[in-house]
Amino acid sequence: MAPILEINNLFKSYGSTQILKDINVAIEQGDFLVLVGPSGCGKSTLLNCIAGLEPITDGRLSIGGQDMTHVNPKDRDIAMVFQSYALYPTMTVAKNITFGMKVRGVDQSTQDEKLKHVATQLQIEPLLNRKPGQLSGGQRQRVAMGRALVRDPKLFLFDEPLSNLDAKLRVEMRTEIKALHKRLGASMVYVTHDQIEAMTLATKIVVMKGGVIQQIGTPSEIYNHPANLFVADFMGSPAMNLIPAKTKNNGQGVEIEIARETGGPITLIDTKNKDLPENVILGVRPEDIADANLRRSEDRQEADCMIDIVEPAGADTFAVMQLGGKQVTARLHAETAAVAGQNLNLAFDLGKVSYFGPETGERLN
């Protein structure tokens, strides 16, 4: 079966400014693709290109196996949810949801039936006769989703749909969208700048920066094997620790030396990787640095470190220290004995370590 969405060598420019450079993405039926990146990275523009709301400068785009490069938005068999919800202010909720069908000349009984179905699904029946101005943010969000769902399109497009909601509601709606995706088995493309949303929702993530795709992969690939320093730093909270280090190849693996301002350097042995250049940037997730007394794992190597700051966050406690001239964060157990200004014996787990070239920023292992 042809991919539900396929983008080949897509370029987009406004005048002489290139917004998107050589984008290649394909997703299968039922995929949940998340476009993630900092603001201005071109992710929303890409979504608008997919929707047909922005013309493409160069390249091809097909939806459901059909070439859609120059097709009008209304003929692409897509539905879109916008950041501002974009509900029609003078129409009631019911009219908002059925507007698309009315425009397309769907007969009244089908409209009513579909409206009822969607309203039940999203639990918005009591709101059907209200105007958008009388709804709360979360309710508007639901109506916007309803307007998309009722169309039953090949492809759903979401443009930062949760970023106008408060934190608690955002998490609720996130779960709901995920459940919806699972229930419908629909194909979705979702734009967000929130990397947690990206990780939780996606079956496939595209990380973008400056109009260029940095990495495409499953959430686990993106998280555990970031392709470069940008992805490593962008995905994950707190961010991956990126520590300048020196390596020495020896018989059984690589000896890694991390300089410290006080005390001697820390030396770690990585037995899984070899043939690394002398200068590398070592990427270690905060959860791979733990309290030596509280965690037992096979790959662990212990070192005494001076803790600068301790930040209790409820479930975890974050400890910040200086290694290799960089701030390094460790995700410790909530009941850690860490005290700011004192040494703590930490266990480093190199099982999922990443190495990056200091000049290129690219992944080495």
Partner 1 sequence: MTDMSYTASQSGSRAGKIALRWTLYLMLGLFALFYLMPLFVMVTTSFKSLDEIRTGDLISLPREVTFEAWRTAWSQACTGIQCEGVRPYFWNSVLIAIPAVLISTLIGALNGYVVAQWRFKGANLFFALMLFGCFIPFQVVLLPMARTLGLMGMAGTIPGLIFVHVIYGLGFTTLFFRNYYVSIPSELTKAAKVDGAGFFRIFWSIFLPLSLPIIVVTVIWQFTQIWNDFLFGVSFSQAGTQPVTVALNNIVNSTTGVKAYNVDMAAAIIAALPTLFVYVVAGKYFVRGLTAGSVKG
* Contact positions vs partner 1 (CB under 8 A): 48, 51, 53, 72-74, 78-80, 82-91, 99-100, 103-104, 132-133, 147, 151
Q: Reduce the secondary structure of the chain to three states and give it as a string.
A: CCCCEEEEEEEEEECCEEEEEEEEEEECCCCEEEEECCCCCCHHHHHHHHHCCCCCCEEEEEECCEECCCCCHHHCCEEEECCCCCCCCCCCHHHHHHHHHHHCCCCHHHHHHHHHHHHHHHCCHHHCCCCHHHCCHHHHHHHHHHHHHCCCCCEEEEECCCCCCCHHHHHHHHHHHHHHHHHHCCEEEEEECCHHHHHHHCCEEEEEECCEEEEEECHHHHHHCCCEHHHHHHCCCCCCEEEEEEEEEECCEEEEEECCCCCCCEEEEECCCCCCCCEEEEEECHHHEEECCCCCCCCEEEEEEECCEEEECCCEEEEEEEECCEEEEEEEECCCCCCCCCEEEEEEECCCCEEECCCCCEECC
What residues have CB less than 8 Å from 235, skipping those under 6 apart?
Answer: 36, 195, 198, 199, 205, 207, 222, 223, 226
Q: Which is nearer to partner 1, 62 or 329 (CB)?
A: 62
Q: Which is nearer to partner 1, 91 or 364 (CB)?
A: 91
Edge-to-edge strands of the sheet including 309-312? 309-312, 316-323, 326-333
Q: How far is the CB of 254 from partner 1 (least distance, A)?
A: 52
Q: Which is nearer to partner 1, 54 or 197 (CB)?
A: 54
Q: How far is the CB of 69 from partner 1 (least distance, A)?
A: 17
Token couple for 332: 């410790």
Q: How far is the CB of 52 from partner 1 (least distance, A)?
A: 8
Q: Which is nearer to partner 1, 1 or 103 (CB)?
A: 103
Q: How far is the CB of 184 from partner 1 (least distance, A)?
A: 18
Q: Which is nearer to partner 1, 78 or 189 (CB)?
A: 78
Q: Which is nearer to partner 1, 20 or 150 (CB)?
A: 150
Q: How far is the CB of 211 from partner 1 (least distance, A)?
A: 21
Q: How far is the CB of 126 from partner 1 (least distance, A)?
A: 20
Q: How far is the CB of 103 from partner 1 (least distance, A)?
A: 5
Q: Which is nearer to partner 1, 97 or 353 (CB)?
A: 97
Q: How far is the CB of 154 from partner 1 (least distance, A)?
A: 13
Q: How far is the CB of 311 from partner 1 (least distance, A)?
A: 38
Q: How far is the CB of 102 from partner 1 (least distance, A)?
A: 9
Q: Which is nearer to partner 1, 138 or 226 (CB)?
A: 138
Q: Which is nearer to partner 1, 84 or 220 (CB)?
A: 84
Q: Which is nearer to partner 1, 72 or 262 (CB)?
A: 72
Any bridge partners for residue 303, and if so which? 346
Buried b / exposed e along 29-56 (16+ C-beta atoms within 10 A): eebbbbbbbeeebbbbbbbbbbbbebeb
